[in-house]
Amino acid sequence: MHHSFRAALAGLFITLATVPLLVACQPQEGRVNLNADEKFVISKGTWDYYQKYLQAVDGGARGAFVVSEDGYYATYTYCRAAQACYQNINYSAEALKDCISDGYKCVVFAKDSDIVVDYAVAE
């Protein structure tokens, strides 16, 4: 995986540039609007990448983790020093902008360290 970083706001606000997470099998047909009994399915690679995001927001940092509709691509934004972060920053919107700029349609998977969708990890 290739990681690249873009610093802004005096080095406190870090955006992890997109890292496509692909696996050998074909992705499922992703949908943002799921039925009440459906779960948002993400790849194992995306789940592993989410664990790296959790390390970044450990200790009260603020951020958002977004996943493509098919569950195989993810990116995130965060501020590593929660007390020094601007309260008016919408981390979800920033992460979604990065996703869109890379040609994907994404959904917010987590805000800070809280997962906000009902999900399952593909086997």
Tokens linked to 21: 């997470």
pLDDT at 66 (0 to 100)? 96
Side by side, the strands of the sheet bearing 114-115 are: 5-8, 13-20, 73-79, 62-68, 106-111, 114-115
Ordered by start, the domain boundaries in the chain are 5-121
The length of the chain is 123
pLDDT at 59 (0 to 100)? 81
Mean pLDDT of 86-96: 86
Mean pLDDT of 103-120: 94
Q: What percent of the chain has pLDDT over 70?
A: 68
User: What pLDDT band is residue 26 in, cutting at 50, 70 and 90?
Assistant: very low
Alpha carbon distance 31, 33 (integer Å): 6
Q: What is the pLDDT of residues 11-22, one digit of tens each?
A: 333 333 333 443
Tokens linked to 63: 């951020």
Residues 6+ apart with CB under 8 A from 60: 82
pLDDT at 76 (0 to 100)? 95
Alpha carbon distance 27, 58 (integer Å): 30
pLDDT top residue among 12 and 43: 43
Q: Residue 2: left (phi > 0), alpha (psi -120 to 50), or beta?
A: beta
Q: Is the pLDDT of residue 111 over 90?
A: yes
User: What pLDDT band is residue 82 in, cutting at 50, 70 and 90?
Assistant: low
